[in-house]
Structure 1
Amino acid sequence: MSSSSLEYKLIKENNSTQGISIEGWKIVTKKLPILNSQEIEKVQKEILVPLPEMFFGNNSLSVSNDDYGVLFEFSPIDALKLVDSTKEGGEKVKVAYSEEWTLKSSKNHEHIKDVIKPYDWTYSTLYSGTLKIASKGQKFEKTTERIDIEKLKIPEPILFYDEIMLFEDELADNGTAVLSAKVRVMESGFFILQRFFLRVDDVLFKMNETRVYHEFGTKSLLKEYSSREEHYFKIKAQIPVYKGDDISQLTNPDWVSSKLTNSEELILENLNLLGGNYSKI
């Protein structure tokens, strides 16, 4: 317990599970190694695309509140279920960035042809979390209310912080696709960022981000989903000149995110924690 005026309790169930209980909310992260062969075989029956090279199928980040009857979580299995499993999905990048793809392919034709597969081999997912339980019949509804990012920048004590990896793939050495999530809990509320980061070398960058925020004392769980992408060389051109040939910043999702422009897609939603059909759970 710190000097916070809020009552809270840190959770440490074992080496893989930790979190915090605060203001009626329980926020928990689970971190385990990548799936073993038996687990892979079981999960593959649910997923229509081959699993990424590093698939943390047992990892999760969940927020729940028994008073409101709500359980919301980020699951790697649910995320992969939204990856396009069709042949058309496998050619999306090639079609959308035909000029860049042709240039890349001509440089390394024998290698690049291997990543044209009958599914979206970039593992791009629109996943924005799973509302697993809503005992009052609540659901996320469209809203015009935005998460106050400037308010989140105001320094305040962090009572709990963690980050989990959901999956990662190096795209046959042609880039990287990473899905991760992190959470921080402050005295004012909690904030979650799930990020899908895609880099296809010499072709494009893509960032699908889901932000979830709850301010303690309110009855809303706000969620924002955004999708941004840009040509690879437009982002590379923003590396400071003094960096010379150092392109390491292109592997830094935070730096790339700061260089991507306005969202090509923005979905604002709110879960009314007092909504639904029952007056009391």
Structure 2
Amino acid sequence: MSNPVPAVIKNIHEGPTRGIITHGWKITSTKLPILNAKEIERAQAELDIPLPEMFFGNNRITISNEHGFELEFSPMEALKHVDASKEGGDKVKLAYSEEWKKKSERNHEHVKDVVKPYDWTYSTSYRCTVKLAPDGQDFKPTTDRINIEKLKLPEPINFYDENILFEDELADNGTAMLNVKMRVMPSGFFVLQRFFLRVDDVLFRLNETRIYHEFGTDYLIREYSSREETYDKIRAALPPYKGDDISQLTDPDWVSSKLPPPREQIIEKINVVPSNTEQPK
């Protein structure tokens, strides 16, 4: 049996956009500076909450194929999933009342400026936007899972990028950041969107969306999870030899390794080719 013909790979580098075309898929990442004054004004008109301090409103990740499927990760759409209600501003205070009380007692003058009449942590449950889908498909619940063990196998990386969508320092009380990492291998592509929240002395939260497609199949899988834990419990996991060094608390990967199982998890799949169409190998 003859060896299969390797997939043709075309690299994309057009201004602020980088990406790759392979196996009938086009995956791009666009990175631009934070919005200027006019762009901020236009963006603010679409939202019910103030913009984060660093809002990369023109950044986006787009994934499309030759069959008319297209999805994207958009900072504007992500902010539309933040709770804009008055109750949203009190969620952290209510859920972590003891931790919040201790924080307030330690730094009352600073903390009083944090809580606002919306979810000031910018916590978002955004999982991507389906722009186009064959046969009007949408994500549906599934028992299939992303094969994490396969993703751990050594394999060349044909394209990799990381894209920050927004970041806010929560009035010097922590950080809220939404970013997207993607990698394309000979066997398929994997995307991780991560919302990382640290409210100093109160809590850590991690909302993650994973998307995986194996080339040669007619679907992709999306897994969303939300995990959180009190600040003190995560800080207690720091190695004793670190002493007063708490820099690991700013590392989302390290924090992720210490968080408990998800309090919420959604697993879905979507067909990415029309019915009765053979997917390119």
Question: Is the TM value for this pair above 0.5?
Answer: yes
SS in structure 2 at match of 1:255: helix
In structure 2, what is the Cα distance between the partners aligned to 1:101 and 1:130?
Answer: 34
Residue aligning to 1:174: 173
- One-letter identity of the residue aligned with 1:260: L
Residue aligning to 2:93: 94
- One-letter identity of the residue aligned with 1:239: L
Residue aligning to 1:215: 214
Deviations 1:214-234 (A, max 9, x none): 000001110000000000010
- One-letter identity of the residue aligned with 1:28: T
Residue aligning to 1:156: 155
> Residues 27 and 63 of structure 1 are in contact (CA less than 8 Å); yes or no, is this contact kept in structure 2?
yes
In structure 2, what is the Cα distance between the partners aligned to 1:39 and 1:162?
Answer: 25
Residue aligning to 2:13: 12
- One-letter identity of the residue aligned with 1:137: G
In structure 2, what is the Cα distance between the partners aligned to 1:55 and 1:128?
Answer: 18
Give the superposition deviation at 1:66: 2.5
Alignment of structure 1 residues 257-272 onto 2, 5 Å: 257-272=256-271
Deviations 1:20-72 (A, max 9, x none): 000100000000000000000000011110000000000001100122x1110
In structure 2, what is the Cα distance between the partners aligned to 1:259 and 1:218?
Answer: 34
Deviations 1:145-191 (A, max 9, x none): 11011110101000000000000000000000000001000000000
Give the superposition deviation at 1:135: 4.0
> Residues 134 and 273 of structure 2 are in contact (CA less than 8 Å); yes or no, is this contact kept in structure 1?
no
CA RMSD of aligned residues (A): 1.4
Residue aligning to 2:38: 38
In structure 2, what is the Cα distance between the partners aligned to 1:266 and 1:116?
Answer: 28
> Residues 206 and 230 of structure 1 are in contact (CA less than 8 Å); yes or no, is this contact kept in structure 2?
yes
Alignment of structure 1 residues 10-89 onto 2, 5 Å: 10-14=11-15, 16-67=16-67, 69-89=68-88
In structure 1, what is the Cα distance between the partners aligned to 2:216 and 2:200?
Answer: 45
Alignment of structure 1 residues 177-188 onto 2, 5 Å: 177-188=176-187
Task: State yes or no: 1:115 paired with 2:114.
Answer: yes
Give the superposition deviation at 1:6: 1.9
SS in structure 1 at match of 2:39: helix
Alignment of structure 1 residues 118-133 onto 2, 5 Å: 118-133=117-132
Give the superposition deviation at 1:279: 7.2
> Residues 230 and 260 of structure 1 are in contact (CA less than 8 Å); yes or no, is this contact kept in structure 2?
yes
- One-letter identity of the residue aligned with 1:105: S
> Residues 134 and 271 of structure 2 are in contact (CA less than 8 Å); yes or no, is this contact kept in structure 1?
no
Pick closer, same or farther for the CA change 1:260–1:71 going to 2, 3 Å: same
In structure 2, what is the Cα distance between the partners aligned to 1:175 and 1:56?
Answer: 19
Give the superposition deviation at 1:5: 2.4
> Residues 11 and 21 of structure 1 are in contact (CA less than 8 Å); yes or no, is this contact kept in structure 2?
yes
Deviations 1:69-92 (A, max 9, x none): 111010000000010011100000
Residue aligning to 2:228: 229
Residue aligning to 1:190: 189
SS in structure 2 at match of 1:38: helix
Q: Normalising by the residue count of structure 2, what TM-score does the alignment of the two structures yield?
A: 0.95
SS in structure 2 at match of 1:155: coil
Give the superposition deviation at 1:101: 0.1
Residue aligning to 1:140: 139
Stretches of 4+ moved more than 3 A in 1? Answer: none
SS in structure 1 at match of 2:82: coil
In structure 1, what is the Cα distance between the partners aligned to 2:239 and 2:214?
Answer: 38
> Residues 134 and 272 of structure 2 are in contact (CA less than 8 Å); yes or no, is this contact kept in structure 1?
no
> Residues 137 and 275 of structure 1 are in contact (CA less than 8 Å); yes or no, is this contact kept in structure 2?
no
Give the superposition deviation at 1:13: 1.1
Give the superposition deviation at 1:272: 1.5
- One-letter identity of the residue aligned with 1:146: R
In structure 1, what is the Cα distance between the partners aligned to 2:118 and 2:66?
Answer: 39
Q: How many residues align?
A: 274
Give the superposition deviation at 1:241: 0.5
